[in-house]
Amino acid sequence: MSLEIKPITPILGAEVSGVDLSRPLSNAEFDAVHRAFVTHSLLVFRDQNLSPEAQIEFSRRFGPLMVHVLKGANLEDHPEIYRVSNVKKDGKTQGRSYAGQYWHSDLTYEPRPSLGSLLYGLEVPEFGGDTLFASTAHAFETLSPTMQAMLDGLTAEHHFAHAFRGGANPAARKGDPLDERPPVRHPVVRTHPETGRKCVFVNEGFTVRIIELEPKESEAVLGFLCQHMTRSQVVLRHRWRTGDAVLWDNRALVHRAVDDYGDDQPRHMHRTTIEDTD
């Protein structure tokens, strides 16, 4: 079966068929996948059967992998894999449960943020537990020229602890190594190195403030940008099936998980995170 790429929405996302990620891809196959990734920002691969080694090998074709600061959630013997899971074994949850219940781009609190992430569903709820995605490139392009000019050149502070102390639902998160990652600064608008599109690079999870603005101004602008990026008409909602592998571009998207399921619905996933070296 030949590789086929079918767009999901006019703004972002495509489903890729005819490719088996459990085996090494030829250079031609990978180049086709990479072009689709850059074009659509998000790729869905259905019916995959990925070992940790295969997931790591495929992810490394895009760049070096990052190890998550929450080391207890990383897979034993494969620290490049971060486990998102509410499944318990011997009374212990096998990873980070109910993670990412706020709009964010992965690891923007790192000095070198993430290029992309690959999330693989080993067990998924019968219903619920979807993931939402929105394009930060489309968000910038649909701002007025005046707003675009104002934002270009501004910088923002990102901090891992913000999602826990000051961000969405802070009371639900306790006992994390919040201070292991100090605050970092990134441009509010980043130019995507492969597409050349300008992207809004803030999120409600990890962005604390816009440095050049007064606190109330920063709060208002960040609130507006987060709302603008995630309007319902521009959001892609991915409903998970067991065996789905979803690859997304953190340079061009924000995402959030939907917490509408309980522990009676197992959700066990492996994530690899690719470093942005540009």
Q: Where are the domains of the chain?
A: 1-278
User: Which CATH architecture fits 1-278?
Assistant: 4-Layer Sandwich (3.60)
Statement: residue 107 has pLDDT above 50 = yes
**Active-site annotation holder among 96, 106, 186, 238:** 106
Looking at residue 97, what is its pLDDT? Answer: 83
Give yes or no for a contact between 131 and 246, defined as CB atoms under 8 angstroms apart: yes
pLDDT one-digit tens code per residue, 32-61? 999 999 999 999 999 999 999 999 999 999
In the annotation, is 268 catalytic? no
Phi-psi region of 47 (alpha: psi -120 to 50; beta: other; left: phi over 0): left
For 229-250, what is the mean pLDDT?
97
In the annotation, is 106 catalytic? yes
Please give the sequence-ordered ranges of beta strands (E in DSSP) within the chain, or none if there are none.
Answer: 4-7, 14-17, 42-45, 74-75, 78-85, 88-89, 92-93, 114-123, 131-135, 155-158, 184-187, 189-191, 198-200, 207-210, 236-238, 245-249, 253-257, 268-275
CA triplet 52, 54, 59: central angle to 5 degrees? 95
**Active-site annotation holder among 40, 68, 83, 104:** 104
In the annotation, is 176 catalytic? no
**Active-site annotation holder among 255, 256, 267, 268:** 255
In the annotation, is 78 catalytic? no
Looking at residue 91, what is its pLDDT? Answer: 78
What residues are paired with 131 via a beta bridge? 238, 257
Longest dimension (CA), the chain: 57
Statement: residue 170 has pLDDT above 50 = no
Give yes or no for a contact between 223 and 199, defined as CB atoms under 8 angstroms apart: no
Give yes or no for a contact between 184 and 110, defined as CB atoms under 8 angstroms apart: yes
pTM of the model: 0.93
pLDDT one-digit tens code per residue, 183-202? 999 999 999 999 999 999 99
